[in-house]
Amino acid sequence: MKKLIEAGHYYSCDGPSNVSMKGWEIGKELALNNGALLALFVDDYHSEQGFLEEDEIFLGGNAVQAIQSEATHIFHESDIAKKAPAEIIGLLEDSKVKLKKGIVSADGVRLGAYSEGGFNSPTCTFLDYLLLCEKTKLAGNQTVVLPSAYEKQQANLSKVIAKLVIPTLSSYKSFFYNASGTDELNKVEL
């Protein structure tokens, strides 16, 4: 079965950093060793970077070109976010998520806010879930390589995946890294 590895995640407002480049290098090695597709996720939806690692330094335009030229697939969070309102309405209609006091959740994990004006403020976890739905169109076996600051978000994603099953997802692994190396901290096999 096909495999896809996502690595090098960066925010377009700041561009790639030494931390995202390290993740990209780890992802490239994993993809090469596993014959996998290599995907990049660019957060062009948020206007500021939500997760910063200690000693993170932003590298500029040359790093953007280097990563993007090596990626098999590039996903943009703004494209994913456009799909969020329709997706949440479908999940509400199918009773797969809960709506209580304006908050939409799945298995206790907040996915965003819903009011008379519709669904807004999708959480990173919900956007990551939607990204995973898109990525599984390319490969059923999924791995993501992220800085350790994303560990809690990925734990929440694991709960959402268990609740909102993605039929085309065979396996999902999260690898986290920091300045001293890579640790497999979270692994979900479906």
- Cβ-proximal residues to 4 (8 Å cutoff; 6+ apart), any chain: 36, 37, 38, 39, 73, 135, 138, 139, 141, 142, 143
For the chain, the straight-line distance linking the first and the last C-alpha, in angstroms and rounded, comes to: 14
Q: Strand 103-106 to strand 98-100: parallel, antiparallel, or no bridges (unpaired)?
A: antiparallel
pLDDT band of 190, cuts 50, 70, 90? very low
Distance (Å, rounded) from C-alpha 184 to C-alpha 26?
A: 12
Position 62 scores a pLDDT of 78
Distance (Å, rounded) from C-alpha 141 to C-alpha 85?
A: 27
pLDDT greater than 90 at residue 50: no
pLDDT band of 51, cuts 50, 70, 90? low
What is the pTM (predicted TM-score) of this model?
0.90
Position 117 scores a pLDDT of 82
CATH classification number, 3-79+130-189, choose in 3.40.50.80, 3.40.50.620, 3.40.50.300, 3.30.310.50: 3.40.50.620
Position 188 scores a pLDDT of 43
Closest CA to 16 of 43, 36, 47: 43
pLDDT greater than 90 at residue 85: yes
> How does pLDDT run across 65-81, given as a tens digit for each residue?
889 999 999 999 999 99
Question: Which of the two residues, 180 and 28, has the higher pLDDT score?
Answer: 28
Distance (Å, rounded) from C-alpha 72 to C-alpha 31?
A: 10
pLDDT greater than 80 at residue 187: no
- Residue ranges of the domains in the chain? 3-79+130-189
Element of type H or E holding 83: helix 77-93
Position 1 scores a pLDDT of 73
Average pLDDT over residues 160-174: 95
Distance (Å, rounded) from C-alpha 29 to C-alpha 24?
A: 9
Express as a percent the part of the chain with pLDDT over 90. Answer: 66
pLDDT greater than 70 at residue 84: yes
Q: Strand 10-11 to strand 37-43: parallel, antiparallel, or no bridges (unpaired)?
A: parallel
How would you class 98 by CB atoms within 10 Å of its CB: exposed for 0-12, middle for 13-18, buried for 19 or more? middle
Closest CA to 174 of 150, 190, 159: 150
Position 49 scores a pLDDT of 67
Average pLDDT over residues 90-113: 96
Position 91 scores a pLDDT of 95
Compute, in degrees rounded to 10, the torsion defined by CA atoms 100, 92, 125, 16.
-130
